[in-house]
Amino acid sequence: MQAGLPSAIFAGAMAVSDNEGIPGAAYVDLNKQFVDDRQPLPHMLATADRFSEDARKLGINQHDTIIVYDSSGIYASPRLRLAFKAMGHDKVAVLDGGLQTWQTHGLPTSRFKYESLSMGDFVAHFRPNLFCDAEFVVESIRSTNFTVVDARSPARFKGTAPEPCAGLRRGHIPGALNLSFEAVLDHGVMRPPAELRRIFDELSLLQRSLIFSCGSGVTACIPALAAELIGFTDIRIYDGSWSEWGARADLAVAID
């Protein structure tokens, strides 16, 4: 990819079913790429060195504009967008509605090419203010400086539905509010700003500093993107999310 030209990247946390994408796009598997695979938790943000290596292998350059998208709707692409922003790269955007919307507009697709790409020159510069750990969440609860927003389903948040991963307790972080990631979407497309403002107003947020959590730090980035679109600026993702909190006996759990 030449410097200055858009780089279209497919952000896939799930397996690809058809291998079709936007012409010139590269495929990303968020189970394996841009993650710290030394961690026992899934989808943890990669170190700057690992992130740089993965980006270069995709041919990404320091000055590229990056477009991230999903095969259907919006799902994993906001996570990859925030990951790039956390690594100092601001020229990254989500394709609203993903490949499905692209095809609805009659735009062309092609099969992904998996041969070796020219190495890029991307260098990550980690920004520590977009992702946080459990200890930061604990301190934020005590100080009430942040509100935790849980993007899981209402049933999982309330503890009435079992967790999909074995060994995790039911419930939610004490003091957290529930905003399912699906609530900010309309058939895979981000809702208009007026609707998003109404949704966030219904949460009765007392401050505009938010920590978003979910099951493993992926879908939390969807309402985080929605919050950005309506003017929230102090936003963090709890990287370990419920995969960590639900497994640690030293962390309090609420059920209601």
> Which of the residues 132, 165, 214, 221 is marked catalytic?
214
Distance CA 72, CA 105 (A): 14
Amino acid residing at 190? M
User: CATH for 131-245?
Assistant: 3.40.250.10
Q: Is the pLDDT of residue 198 over 50?
A: yes
Distance CA 213, CA 228 (A): 15
3-state SS assignment for residue 103: helix
Amino acid residing at 128? P
pLDDT band at residue 114 under the 50/70/90 scheme: low
Q: Is the pLDDT of residue 106 over 70?
A: yes
Domain with CATH 3.40.250.10 in the chain: 7-111, 131-245
3-state SS assignment for residue 221: helix
What was the pLDDT predicted at 113?
67
Which tens digits make up the pLDDT trace of 146-185?
999 999 999 999 999 999 999 999 999 999 999 999 999 9
| pLDDT, the chain, mean | 90
214 catalytic? Reply is yes
Cβ-based neighbour number of residue 175 at 10 Å: 15
User: CATH for 7-111?
Assistant: 3.40.250.10
What was the pLDDT predicted at 18?
53
Q: Which of 92, 80, 90 is nearest to 11 (CA)?
A: 80
